[in-house]
């Protein structure tokens, strides 16, 4: 049940990020409560704080938006520190694929007024972090 609800929330966040390039704090607050109270996995505050710290540094350099950072930090609550590199690798690959798709789309559709700047990285975060969480729970299914 946890994985299904988490998948639905990740899809809602991804669709919102694609549509508006924004991840709303209200959805993130619900996800935070869901992660803390209903997750069958242990809560890893060290991972959460590390992702939040690295995220804030990347926000200062304008590499990521604040919503993306908060989203990754909340999802990292259930990811052990040893699995965090896998979450980042999967997120990077997903983000690279999305970047290629958006680049190809911009070459085919050259209407500048309809192209938004940036890549909706919430989608890549959803894929990368969800897969790591899924792999943790999968042996118990």
pLDDT in tens, 45-72: 999 999 999 999 999 998 889 999 999 9
Query: Quick one: CA dihedral 34, 37, 39, 45, positive or negative?
Result: positive
Q: What is the DSSP letter of 62?
A: T
Residue 116: pLDDT over 70: no
What is the average pLDDT across 7-25?
A: 95
Q: What is the DSSP letter of 61?
A: T
Q: To the nearest 10°, the Cα dihedral for 19, 35, 71, 101?
A: -50
Range of the domain at 112: 1-138
Question: Is pTM, for the whole model, over 0.75?
Answer: yes
What is the average pLDDT across 106-115?
A: 67
Residue 114: pLDDT over 80: no
Tell me how many domains the chain contains: 1
């Amino acid at each position: 049940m946890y994985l299904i609800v988490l998948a639905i929330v990740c899809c809602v966040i991804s669709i919102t990020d694609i549509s508006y390039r924004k991840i709303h704090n209200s959805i993130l607050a619900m996800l935070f409560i869901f992660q803390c109270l209903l997750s069958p996995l242990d809560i890893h505050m060290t991972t959460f704080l590390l992702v939040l710290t690295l995220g804030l540094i990347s926000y200062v350099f304008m590499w990521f938006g604040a919503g993306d950072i908060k989203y990754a930090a909340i999802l990292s609550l259930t990811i052990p520190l040893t699995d965090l590199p896998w979450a980042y690798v999967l997120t990077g690959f997903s983000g690279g694929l999305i970047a290629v798709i958006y680049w190809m789309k911009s070459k085919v559709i050259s209407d500048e007024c309809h192209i938004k700047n940036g890549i909706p990285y919430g989608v890549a975060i959803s894929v990368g972090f969800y897969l790591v969480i899924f792999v943790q729970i999968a042996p118990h299914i």
